Structure 1
Amino acid sequence: MADWDEDARARLRAAAHRRDGDAGLAALAGRPLGPVLQYAGDVLLAALDRGLPAAEPLARKCVEELDGRDGPGDAELAAELTAALEGRATGLIGVPVDLGALGARLEADPADGVQAVDLRTGDIDEPGPGFDPESRLTFVPGGPDPGDPGEEAQRGRARRRLAEHGYRPGPRPFL
């Protein structure tokens, strides 16, 4: 079984960012899911959405590992994968937000003040003039979580924060 070197991780990140199920399955082939469960789940959701047959057994394994790990955002991602495997909707509304960017903002210094996610564009910024609370999800950064550092946990915390408010990450079209 191949391990996750930086090139393989970069291919998986790119596939997740593009929501490219084919490229995601290729990046996952022959590698353990454990170190990259949040990214793996994202590409598997895309692959399931396209009806790619190779996605189903990997998605089931990903759900099992997410349930066993129980890290930030793992329950939310497992629920999304389970819903996709069963052909049903989660009831969460897709928001075109970059989980990495949101995760980094959630871990910013709380002294930076209130931040907001534009629910239409996925942009993250400070609420300013013309702030529309109906089209934005606001939050106060909580600072880094010293007990659970790393990219996986950061993405998971962002996924969990969205789900707590009825949202899930969705495709982010390039403008």
Structure 2
Amino acid sequence: MAEWDGEALARLRGAVHRGDGGRGLEVLAGRPLGPVLQYAGDVAVAARGLPGGAALARECVEELRRRGLPGDAELADEIEGVSGLAGLPVDLGAVAAAMDDGFHVLDVEYGDVVPVDEGGEGVPIPPGVLPEGEDARRGAARRWLAEQGYRAVPRGL
């Protein structure tokens, strides 16, 4: 089984950022989902209708529900198509970084994370103590976003 090195993780991040389910499936193939379960779930959403997409979706939902970390239930609901949240083209990494820093707002029209001192208007992103690890930080950001009534969707040009 292949492991997660920096190059593979960068390719996975890129596929998720673009909403490219096919490329995401390729990167996930033969690698453990546990260390990147939040990204894998995003790939499962993007890969709906693609060969291998349904199997990934089932595996991700099962693992997310079993693991139960912040953001896991919200992502499992999204994969199953039952979230009912409005899509917002927001970068979960940027939301997590803003939660680490504090003093940022989320522009709910465009999905941008803007520092308050730059005149940002929108939903204040509260500072918080985030868990260690990129996957857990994405989950914490996803949970906060869901509490605001939104789910992350890929950003378009």
Instruction: Please list, as runs of the form range in 1=range in 2, the aligned pairs for 1:1-175 lying within 5 A after superposition.
Output: 1-48=1-48, 51-83=49-81, 90-108=83-101, 110=102, 113=103, 115-127=104-116, 136-142=122-128, 144-145=129-130, 148-174=131-157
SS in 2 for 1:107: helix
Give unpaired runs (5+ residues) of structure 1: 84-88
RMSD of equivalent CA atoms? 1.7
Q: Distance in 1 between matches of 2:97 and 2:28?
A: 25
| Residues in 2 aligned to 1:129 and 1:58: alpha-carbon distance in whole angstroms | 41
Displacement after TM superposition at 1:129 (Å):
8.2
Structure 2: gaps of 5 or more residues:
none
Would you say the 8 A contact 2:107–2:120 is kept in 1?
no
- Structure 2 distance, partners of 1:129, 1:22, is 38
- Normalised to the residue count of structure 1, the TM-score between the two structures is 0.83
Kindly tell me: are residues 29 and 107 of structure 1, through their superposed partners in 2, closer, same or farther at Cα, counting changes over 3 Å? same
Taking a change above 3 Å as real, the CA distance of residues 151 and 131 of structure 1, as seen in their structure-2 partners, is: closer
Stretches (4+) displaced over 2 A: 126-132
% same residue? 55
Q: How many residues align?
A: 157
Describe the superposition over 1:89-139 as per-residue Cα deviations: whole angstroms up to 9, x where unpaired: 52100111100111111111x4xx3x211112111113468765xxx2222
When normalised by structure 2's length, the TM-score is 0.92
Amino acid at match of 2:62: E
Based on CA coordinates, which of the two structures has the bigger radius of gyration?
1
Name the CA distance, whole Å, in 1 between partners of 2:47 and 2:35.
19
